[in-house]
Structure formats: structure tokens, C-alpha cells
Amino acid sequence: MFVCLHAPGNLPLLVECARHFSPLIEETAPDAVIFDIRGLNWVFGSPEQIAREIEQRVGIVANLAIACNPDAAFHAARGFRGVTILPLGEEAAILAPLPLFLLGGSPEFARVLDLWGIRTFGQFASLPALGVAARLGDEGVHMQQRARGEDYRQLRLLVDPLVFCEERELEDAVNLLEPLLFLFSQMLRELCERLRFHGRSTNEMHVRLKLERAADHIATLRLPVPMLDSKVLLKLLQLELNDRPPQAPVEKIRIELMPVEPRSTQHGLFLPASPEPEKLAITLARIRGLVGAENIGVAELMNTYRPDRFRLRPLKMAAPVAVPLRPKLTLRRLRPACPAQVLCADGKPARITSSQGRGQVVASAGPWHLSGDWWSDEVWDRQSWDIEVRNGGVFQVYQERLTDWFIAGHYD
Amino acid sequence: MTNSAALLRERIQVTLGTRCEPAFLSKKRLEESLPSVVGEIPRGALTEIAGPPSSGRTALLHSLLAASCAVPEFCALLDANDTFDPESAAAAGVRLSQVLWVRCGGNVESAFKAADLLTQAGGFGLVAIDLGDSNEKRVYRIPLTIWFRLRHAVENTRTAVVVVARQINARSCSALKIELSRNRAVWKGWLPGCPPGCLLDGFQVTAQTVRKHQTQERQFHIEP
């Protein structure tokens, strides 16, 4: 037996009411829930008595229908006011007066039935099944079974989202990191066990520390790959708290791990090695502590002509390719560009003086006019030269807006 | 691990012949060294590239990064003075997405600490430390124990450690020393008086390699 509760705009209330009677609940529509009440007759008695109990519990005006299959209960709850009970075998007769739009189906199906002059469940149910199958196909057969109240299906059960969260309230506020790590270790081990039980890993950890007389300390760790090793998570958390320790003693700890599908990889015996993701995550966290998070990553060139424009991204592996072994001329950039004094003769650099050295220019190439971003505040405009300094290096220099000279770097 | 894998592969091939090849064996052998224009750069050892500015040190380093990325492998570049130019590297064939770039902001100590962490973590094909613009005296004063530690960290691994500096610093810790010097810069269309419009066409470079007390010298051209 199935019950359908229908009340527009009150889905949370309907779900809460359904939870009092059954763990097997389906959110069928934004305004209706269906739940399984098999076995409730031993508690409440007849379907009428069960309906009365549910009506008292729901507390709002809602249509209620009890039937032997979910769809019949659903149509009856949407089509009839108050309580409707559909005894086994009488579903078709009770549903017969309902308008056909309640049946649903594709627009094409509805259009065809409208052309045929079919307006109610009863009219559609009375059509010969073979003719419906020939003209409307599988969808027609399925819809006719629903109109007759004969369509049996399993409920698509409402599953609570899995929450992997642990909280510990401390008797005395803890100031030191070591005792906190001991607690973190226990909590993370338990959380990882629960994740393993549910066949999940995690790629995000949220930590909230309630502090004594201070705002909560919040830390979020995003992992590069799904992991399930409590020791790795503990180490990452330790490195994070070393970098950014809480500003006051900790009164309460809350750790939440976000569940994701576990990582599945195919390893090959003769494949080239790549860093182990868990180990790499810890190594990168340690290096971030040394040089700062903004100074580590892989460079990605930006879509602009402006020199030295890039951003840093995480690592990723690509397919093998062949590259030529011949070295190519590369620039070693000076960041920031080094100011220089350049004397020009015949419109080209003849002598340069800077903190990088001084000397006579023996050869030069240029100028190349580069400019961009004239539509924004970051407008740039420069004349670039390649110069060779006597007994020195080969530099790339530029003149910014025809005024100041800078050394962009040297070729190496 | 590499040697054992190679041995196992040989034994399987001897036993099964060519039947095993399509099933699960990669036809490409694991490279024990990185190819370069100055010869093989050994894995599991320390290599030093030294030379004055504009001698082709960075070009050689980028060619090694490109070779390692092409395998494909992950590489790490510990850039002590923040001089790495991603555009030049991409033009040299380096896959930027596979090169972990650590900008140390002039701190040589951070570069070595990061190198230590990365070599201990393992899995990188090439770990490069760029000290090319660091103070020569400061780099020379790096204790020999640090170089020894770095050498030991990569022994029996597939990681090649390459250090770029102005001079040779690691002494006996490095398996290969490459000293570069620029013979001349080549200017295309250059004439006395150098009219505007000529182009820098690369460097002519001499490389002197010292491997197991044997010195070899070769010249090559660095293309623009």
C-alpha cells in the first residue's frame, strides 16, 4: 500500500510528515510525496484509520490518497480533494473521471489524444490496448496502464545526503597545537573509516575551531585528488595550522569531510613515474609554507601580447610528444624590470648604464613597437631592442612611452 | 626499482618473445638519462650547468625541461631569483602544464629546502635549481653537506637534478659538470653600423663537459 500526500508549496512539511510513518519515501513532484505504508495496518488498523492518523499528523490542508500502486495514489491525490482510498481492483473505476492532463506524458502524446477527443482517464483506459500500442507505441501502453491504475513500479527513494562531520567540545580550552593534533587525528581516523564504509573518498576538508573570546577560526583544505588517508589529511591540516595558527585557545572543534567518488587509476609497470598525489600534496603544502602560495604552481600564458603575463595553475600530465633537442634562445627576465640609462646615437642604443652593468653597445636590433590595453587603465606602450654589450651579455631593453629605459632581461 | 623493472622486462621478453609486447609492455625503454645537445644528462645524479650571463645556460636548461616533459614526466623548477620566462620556455618546447614552478624571490635557502622536499617526495623526472642570477659568493658558500644531501636524495631514483649557476659549486657531488661560454652572438643581416631592422639570430656556444674526470668540448648553435 502506498500513500500520496499532495499540497502545493509545502513539500518540506509533507516529507517531514511522511518520515513519521515510513522510511521509504519518494519526492514525486514539487508538491507531492509518496510513501510505503505496508505493515502499518498492524499499528493503526484499516486504511481509513491510517489516513486519519496521517491527516492529524500533517497539520495542513492536504489531499491524501491510498492505493496499491504509487501512480494510482499520485493521480488520485492530485485529482480528488480530501481523502481518497482506492481498493485493489477498483483503481480504474475511481480514476476514470479525472482529466487526462493529470496523466502527464510527452506533448506529442497529449496532442494526439486531444485530436482523438479523449478527455478523461476513463476514456483512455477503455481504448483497446492493441490499438493504443500500434498507434502510440510504448509510451501509449505505459500511459494506459497508469490510467487504469495498473502500473506497478518501485519508489525512487529519498536518500539523506551523507554528511561526514565530527564535533568535539573540549572541557578546557586548548592553546597548543600538539594536543589539538591528537584530537584531530582521532576525529580524522573515525571520519575516514566512515567514508571507507560508504565507499567514498574526500577532496575537501572544512575545519571550524570555536575560539575563546574570539571569532571562529575557519580553515578549508582543497585536495588535488580524492583521498582517504587520515595521516595525509592530518599532515595537511597541521601544515595549514602551522602557517595560520588560531589566535586564541580552542574550545570546540568541528571537522567536515566532503564525500566524493574514490579515485581509480590504472598503474602500469613500465610507465614513467609521476609524483604520488598524496605525497605531492604534502610536499606542495610544505613548499607553500616556504615561499608563499602565490609563488608555486605551473605557469599558464595569458591571451595577451603584453610581455610577461601569466598565471599559476596546478600540475597536470599530458600525452608524450617528440621535441627537438636543439636549445632555443631564452630570456631570463628581471622582475621588476631594471631601470637603465641608455645613450642613443643615430636613433639606436649606443651605451647603457644600469645596476646590471655598463658598457658600449656593439650590436642592436630593433626597435619593435609593442602596445596594448589602451582601452583600460593598464595601458602600455614600449619600444623594444635587443642589444649586445661589449664584454657583457645580450639584453632585451625597452623604452617605456618614449621616456624611461628598462632592461627586461638578458638572453641566455 | 628502475633496474629491477628493466630486468623483469627483459626476462618476460626472453620467455614470451614478442607475444607479450602488444599485451602490456611499453615498447619504449625507460630512459636512464635525458638527451641533450651536450650529451646524456644522467638520472639519479646531480648535474651542474655553469657559465656567465648570455652563455646559453637557460637555453640548455629549457631543452632539458622540454625533453623531460616529452617523456612525459613532471618537472620542477626552483627559481631562486624569479627569472623564468614562461613565454620563452613554451617556445622552446617546454610543456608549462608539467613544470612545477617555485618562485623563491631571491632566497637561495628556500630553493634548496624546496629541492630537498621535492626530491624526497619523488616522482619528478627533472628537478632544476636555477641560481643563475644569485650572488656568486653566496652560492659558493653553500656547505658541501647540502650538495651531498641533494645527491644522496636522488641516488637510485629516476630524478635528474640540474643546477644552473655562474660557476661550478658542488665540486665532487656532481656527476656531470657543463661549463658554457658564448663565442659570439649571431646577428642576422648585421653589418658594421648595424642598420635598424637586423635580428638576433642566436648564439655560438662552446660547452666543456667534465664527466668522470674526462673533459669533452663541443660547440653548438642556440637558435632564436
Three-state SS annotation for chain A: CEEEEECCCCHHHHHHHHHCCCCCEEEEECCEEEEECCCCHHHHCCHHHHHHHHHHHHCCCCEEEEECCHHHHHHHHHHCCCEEECCCCCHHHHHCCCEHHHHCCCHHHHHHHHHHCCCEHHHHHCCCHHHHHHHHHHHHHHHHHHHCCCCCCCCCCCCCCCCEEEEEEEEEEECCHHHHHHHHHHHHHHHHHHHHHCCCEEEEEEEEEEECCCCCEEEEEEEEEEECCHHHHHHHHHHHHHHCCCCCCEEEEEEEEEEECCCCCCCCCCCCCCCCHHHHHHHHHHHHHHHCHHHEEEEEECCCCCCCCEEEECCCCCCCCCCCCCCECCEEEEEEEEEEEEEEECCEEEEEEECCEEEEEEEEEEEEEEEECCCCCCCEEEEEEEEEECCCCEEEEEEECCCEEEEEEEEC
Chain B 145-184, CB below 8 Å of chain A: which residues? 158
> Looking at chain A, which residue has its C-alpha nearest residue B74?
A274
Q: Which residues of chain B have pLDDT under 50?
A: 22-30, 196
Please state the pTM of the whole predicted model: 0.65
| B26-65 pLDDT per residue, tens | 444 445 788 888 888 888 899 999 999 888 899 999 999 9
**Domain annotation covers residue B223:** no
CB of B144 within 8 Å of a chain A CB? The answer is no
Shared domain for B16 and B86, answered yes or no, is no
- B187 in a domain, yes or no? no
B11 with B48, same domain: the answer is: no
Cα angle A32, A34, A39 (rounded to 5 degrees) comes to 155
Say yes or no for a CB contact (<8 Å) between A273 and B5. Answer: no
In a domain, residue B222? The reply is no
Verify that B145 and B168 share a domain, yes or no. yes
Cell numbers 629546502 correspond to what residue? Answer: B113
CATH 3.30.230.10 fits A164-260, yes or no: no
Chain A residues 255-294 with a CB less than 8 Å from chain B:
268-276, 279-280, 282-284, 286-287, 290-291
Is B102 in contact with A333 (Cβ distance < 8 A)?
A: no
Among left, alpha and beta (phi > 0; psi -120 to 50; other), residue B210 is beta
Which residues span the domain enclosing B23?
A: 1-30
Structural domain includes residue B151: yes
Residues B125 and B161 reside in one and the same domain: yes
- Kindly state whether residue B188 falls inside one of the protein's structural domains: no
Residue B180 belongs to what H/E stretch? strand B176-188
Of all residues in chain B, the one with the smallest CA distance to A305 is: B87
Contacts of A335 in chain B (CB under 8 A): 82-83
In angstroms, the separation between the Cα of residue A347 and the nearest Cα of chain B is: 9
In a domain, B201, yes or no: no
Instruction: Identify the residue among B2, B33, B102 best suited for mutation to test binding to A, counting A beta carbons within 10 A and taking the highest.
Output: B102
Residues of A in Cβ contact (< 8 Å) with B110: 290-291
The verdict on B68 and B164 lying in the same domain is yes
Contacts of B204 in chain A (CB under 8 A): none
CATH architecture classification, A2-147:
2-Layer Sandwich (3.30)
Chain A hits for B70, Cβ within 8 Å: 320-323
Q: Does B124 touch chain A (CB under 8 A)?
A: yes
B72 to A323: CB separation less than 8 angstroms, yes or no: no
B3/B63 same-domain check: no
Chain A residue numbers with beta carbons less than 8 Å from the beta carbon of B83 are: 332-335, 409
Query: From the list B5, B71, B96, which residue is nearest A320 (CB)?
Result: B71
Q: What is the pLDDT of residues A198-253, one digit of tens each?
A: 888 998 999 999 998 888 999 988 887 888 889 989 998 998 888 888 889 999 99
Minimal C-alpha gap between A306 and chain B (Å): 11
**Looking at the structure, do residues B61 and B48 belong to the same domain, yes or no?**
yes
Question: How many other CB atoms are found less than 10 A from the CB of residue B134?
Answer: 22
pLDDT of residue B177: 92
Q: How many CB pairs under 8 A join A and B?
A: 236
Chain B residues closer than 8 Å to A328 by CB: 59, 62-63, 88, 91-93, 222-224
Asked if A338 is an interface residue toward chain B (Cβ–Cβ < 8 A), one would say no
Question: Between chains, do B86 and A394 touch, taking CB under 8 Å as contact?
Answer: no
Measured between beta carbons, the chain B residues lying within 8 angstroms of A363 are 185, 187, 190, 194, 198
Q: Answer yes or no: is B196 within a domain.
A: no
A323 touches chain B (CB under 8 A): yes
B50 in the same domain as B15: no
pLDDT at B24: 47
Question: Over chain A, what is the mean pLDDT?
Answer: 86
Q: Do A2-147 and A164-260 fold alike per CATH?
A: no
Which sequence spans correspond to the domains of chain A? 2-147, 164-260, 331-411
pLDDT tens string for chain A (412 positions)?
899 999 888 888 888 899 889 888 998 888 899 999 988 888 888 889 999 999 888 888 889 999 998 999 999 999 999 899 999 888 889 999 999 888 888 888 888 888 999 999 999 999 998 888 888 888 889 899 989 888 888 888 887 778 899 999 988 888 888 889 999 999 999 999 999 988 889 989 999 999 988 889 999 888 878 888 899 899 989 988 888 888 899 999 999 999 888 877 666 665 555 677 777 878 888 888 888 878 888 888 888 888 888 888 776 655 555 666 678 888 888 888 889 998 888 888 889 898 888 888 888 887 888 888 888 888 888 889 888 888 888 899 998 877 889 998 989 8
Cβ contact A295–B60 (<8 Å) = no
Contact status of B112 with chain A (Cβ, < 8 Å): no
Minimal Cα–Cα distance from B169 to chain A, Å? 20
Q: In CATH, what number is assigned to the domain containing residue B70?
A: 3.40.50.300
CA distance B194 to chain A (A): 6
**Is residue B57 located within the same domain as residue B117?**
yes
Give the pLDDT score at A319: 55
Note which residues in 185-204 of chain B have CB less than 8 A from chain A.
Answer: 185, 187, 190, 194, 196-200, 202-203
Residue of A nearest to B103 (CA): A295
Structural contact between residues A255 and A184, judged by C-beta atoms closer than 8 angstroms: yes
Query: To the nearest whole angstrom, how far is the Cα of A284 from the nearest Cα of chain B?
Result: 8
**By CA distance, what is B84's nearest residue in A?**
A332
With an 8 Å Cβ cutoff, is A368 touching chain B? no
Q: How far is A19 from chain B (nearest CA, A)?
A: 51
Does residue B166 share a domain with residue B104? yes
What's the rounded Cα separation, in Å, for the pair B146 and A104? Answer: 75
How much of chain B is in helix, strand and coil states, percent to nearest 5? 35, 30, 35
Determine the distance in angstroms separating the CA of A396 from the nearest CA of chain B, rounded to an integer. 11
Q: Say yes or no: B80 and B98 in one domain.
A: yes
pLDDT at res. B26: 47
Residues B83, B121 within the same domain? yes
Asked if residue B123 belongs to a domain, the reply is yes
> CB-based contact (8 Å) between A99 and chain B?
no
